[in-house]
Amino acid sequence: MNNYVKAGNLQVSKILYDFINLEALPGSGVDQKQFWADLESLVKDLTPKNKELLAKRDEIQDKLDTWHRENKENMEFAKYKGFLKEIGYLEEGVEDFQITTENVDSEIALQAGPQLVVPANNARYAINAANARWGSLYDALYGTDAISDEGGAGREGSYNPLRGEKVIEFAREFLDQAAALKDSSHKEAVKYAIVDGRLSVTLSNGSTTGLNEAEKLAGYQGHPENPTAVLLKNNGLHFEIQIDSNHLIGKTDKAGIKDILLEAAITTIMDCEDSVAAVDAEDKVLVYRNWFGLMKGDLASIFQKGDKSITRTLNPNRTYTAPLGGEITLSGRSLMFVRNVGHLMTNNAILDQEGHEIQEGILDCAITSLLAKHSILGNGRYQNSEKGSIYIVKPKMHGSEEAAFANQLFNRVEDMLGLERHTIKIGVMDEERRTSLNLKACIRQVKDRIAFINTGFLDRTGDEIHTSMEAGSMVRKNDMKSTSWLQGYEKSNVNIGLASGFQGRAQIGKGMWAMPDRMEDMLKQKIGQLKAGANTAWVPSPTAATLHALHYHQIDVTDEQNKLIKESKDLQDAILEIPLAPNISWSKEEIQEELENNSQGILGYVVRWVEQGIGCSKVPDVHDIGLMEDRATLRISSQHLANWLHHGICTKDEVLDTLQRMAKVVDKQNAGDPAYQPMSENYENSVAFQAACDLVFKGYDQPNGYTEPILHRRRLEAKAKFAVKQ
Ligand SMILES: CC(=O)SCCNC(=O)CCNC(=O)[C@H](O)C(C)(C)COP(=O)(O)OP(=O)(O)OC[C@H]1O[C@@H](n2cnc3c(N)ncnc32)[C@H](O)[C@@H]1OP(=O)(O)O
Ligand SMILES: O=CC(=O)O
Ligand SMILES: [Mg+2]
């Protein structure tokens, strides 16, 4: 239970109050009394507008539902579009403009590369993510299906030399691609040295050669004649050939190479939103304290791995000798964004004058910015942004009025924290239909502080289903990928970003690879996001970041973007195409498969969220492929089931029966977890099972199909139940 303290007219949970007063404010240059007074004014001034924006979302949804009910039988596209304009869903056109964001770090403005996302409440993972700026290519290849098991090259056992050979071959091919040698191949290299500021490579036939493009040599470590590391740079990304002929792997390699270290997660999003379960002050303080540690550079995590106790801290910078002498330093850590929650939720960490929970998005912005200010002031071991900026990702905004509101919030927070205007940069998630359709207008509202747009296609798919719930039955979940709206949306996002001058100033990002164990497939497919013009794209793990980095060596995204600038066209009509199943001809088996797949994903995710407070999980689907599940994927699955129920594709009994059977499957999958409470022992009594039922059976009524209200309520219930049991 929260224990509240008065701060002016606010009631602040004691745990948060103490954290702010004793840890966050000291050294920030912000006076304690003033801070609480300013926070109270911020809440008082901005809450009415926030609520009004939420009410507008509901009004629009009601109008859409009514329109579809009335026009379902003969839907005319021109009439539909006219109606959307009339209700302000499609906003007025916007004159061309260019974004003017200043002080954007080169990792965002100039370097194309992977973007890692990590739940901010998990210190062990969050530190790992920050350190994933650099990743071992050998480990990423050896440890995943990126290298096939064929020919006796399996992963079992301690070290399989056959697999090792395959890894080395792959890595040599990478070197040939990213730093080609004149008239030869790295496969022939037996020695690397630095001679007169250039790379000199001795080949197996005794001759020497150098790089095709000498300027790709960026530095080295060790003695120039016998370097321990050779630093190269291609398409703006660094990588290191690490040499040690005494090392277990190095001694099997004719040039003594023990690894290739890749610059990988150039940027990382520390997520306070869809991958975390934070429902009260205790949870929020954990999230905030980790972010604070990351900003000051002193976050540490001590944990047991196998029989080893590990203390994980942030990596230092990397130093090298420049080719012609002198020292160069590269950051050892990813540049960090923090994802705040959207405009929807409230949190009981602080209550306002009337005793109402305050808007969580307002709280997040004020606190995460205050904590990041310490990094700007140089209060810690490392500085996150060389340019003195704070990077906040704002999710789930609907249309330009909501973007304007975020801008107003950021202005106010800058003022209360004594930060210069536009210190706080914004990353706008393009993940709601009303934002995709009015993206240019949204960007214009934040044009002086925008640092990224990103197609969050998972939430966006959930919103697609919910928005047009009354229009009819949606295609199967896996068929969404090939729908017109999704392709139009992805292209339009890039077009609008490029037309608004994002090149050289801000990221145009693309969405998550949600199959963390399918690295072979990722290597084949995720390159498509670069070809589509994205200079960053989301990955779920450091290993995926390392492998995805290979794509940026193969493709110069600026060239791709330059081609796209010329082809740009208006895709609004494609985005408006509703993904309705053209004719309902699914077999009973197909329907059942869809129900089972959705139910398994929902239950596998929700049970850990509600009962263990884990906001992101790898959950096996019906084909036993581990899928990254977060609140956005939950939104899709629950809305999809709600849509099929609403249109009679399945009955409530069928869905309930499926949920119950899948609960048994999920219980089995979790049997090894001592903290796990089986759902199937008593469905009525299982808070997680009931939460899953609510998400589906009350899915139609959830605001924009969001899962947060039900998850928060049920998590609070489970916490209370657990506390009583104890
Ligand atoms: C739609 C959206 O909003 S997407 C954005 C939200 N999604 C995310 O943030 C996804 C982040 N990813 C994750 O949380 C995890 O990778 C999961 C839940 C998908 C899988 O986690 P697990 O089942 O624990 O993965 P697995 O066992 O394969 O790997 C664990 C190891 O990888 C590391 N790891 C996994 N994911 C991450 C990550 N995102 N960042 C840093 N390290 C990570 C862990 O630190 C751990 O290594 P350690 O033992 O040395 O600490
Ligand atoms: O936040 C990302 C998404 O796909 O949703
Ligand atoms: Mg999202």
Nearest ligand 1 atom, CA 305 = 49
Cα 456 to ligand 2 centroid, rounded to whole Å: 3
Cα 158 to ligand 1 centroid, rounded to whole Å: 24
Nearest ligand 2 atom, CA 458 = 4
Ligand 1 atom 27: the closest Cα is on which residue? 618
**Alpha helices, DSSP H only, in 19-122?**
32-71, 77-86, 106-109
Domains in the chain, start-ordered, CATH in brackets?
136-263 (2.170.170.11), 473-581 (no CATH), 588-725 (1.20.1220.12)
Buried b (16+ CB within 10 A) or exposed e, 76-108: eeeebeebbeeebbbbeebeeeebebebbbebb
Active site residues: 339, 630
Cα 420 to ligand 3 centroid, rounded to whole Å: 29
- Tell me which residue has tokens 């899962």: 707
Closest alpha carbon to 249 in 133, 137, 149: 137
- For helices 484-499 and 457-467, give the axis angle rounded to 10 degrees: 120
Q: Tell me how far CA of residue 453 lies from CA of 364, 461, 488, 502, in angstroms.
A: 20, 17, 16, 9
Ligand 2 atom 3: the closest Cα is on which residue? 456
- Tell me which residue has tokens 């008065």: 6
Per-residue confidence (pLDDT) for residue 566, from 0 to 100: 87
Per-residue confidence (pLDDT) for residue 1, from 0 to 100: 57
**At 372, which amino acid appears?**
A
Does residue 430 have its Cβ closer than 6 Å to ligand 2? no
Per-residue confidence (pLDDT) for residue 567, from 0 to 100: 82
Q: Would you list the DSSP string of 604-637?
A: HHHHHHHHH----EEEE-TT--EEEE-HHHHHHH
Does residue 632 have its Cβ closer than 6 Å to ligand 2? yes
**At 647, which amino acid appears?**
H
Does residue 274 have its Cβ closer than 6 Å to ligand 1? yes
Considering every ligand atom shown, identify the ligand nearest to the alpha carbon of residue 538 and give its number: 1
Q: Which residues are annotated as a binding site for glyoxylate?
A: 339, 431, 456-459
Ligand 2 atom 5: the closest Cα is on which residue? 459
State how far the Cα of 430 lies from the Cα of 440, in Å rounded to an integer: 11
Which regions of the chain are under pLDDT 70?
1-2, 724-726
Mutation test residue for ligand 2: of 337, 430, 510, 630, the one with most atoms within 8 Å of CB:
630
Q: Tell me how far CA of residue 110 lies from CA of 42, 533, 603, 668, in angstroms.
A: 35, 14, 41, 48
pTM of the model: 0.98
Buried b (16+ CB within 10 A) or exposed e, 475-484: bbbeebeebe
Ligand 3 ion: Cβ-proximal residues, 5 Å cutoff: 431, 456, 459, 632
The 3-class SS string of 324-387 reads CCCEEEECCCCEEEEECCCCCCEEEEEECCCCCEEEHHHHHHHHHHHHHHHHHCCCCCCCCCCC
Considering every ligand atom shown, identify the ligand nearest to the alpha carbon of residue 455 and give its number: 2
Residues in the chain: 726
Per-residue confidence (pLDDT) for residue 193, from 0 to 100: 98
Strands 237-243 and 318-321, by their bridges, are unpaired
Does residue 459 have its Cβ closer than 6 Å to ligand 2? yes
Torsion of CA 607, 612, 615, 620, to 10 degrees: -40
State how far the Cα of 437 lies from the Cα of 227, in Å rounded to an integer: 54
Cα 532 to ligand 2 centroid, rounded to whole Å: 18
Cα 544 to ligand 1 centroid, rounded to whole Å: 10
In DSSP terms, 243 is beta-bridged to: 257
State how far the Cα of 491 lies from the Cα of 531, in Å rounded to an integer: 11
State how far the Cα of 289 lies from the Cα of 282, in Å rounded to an integer: 11
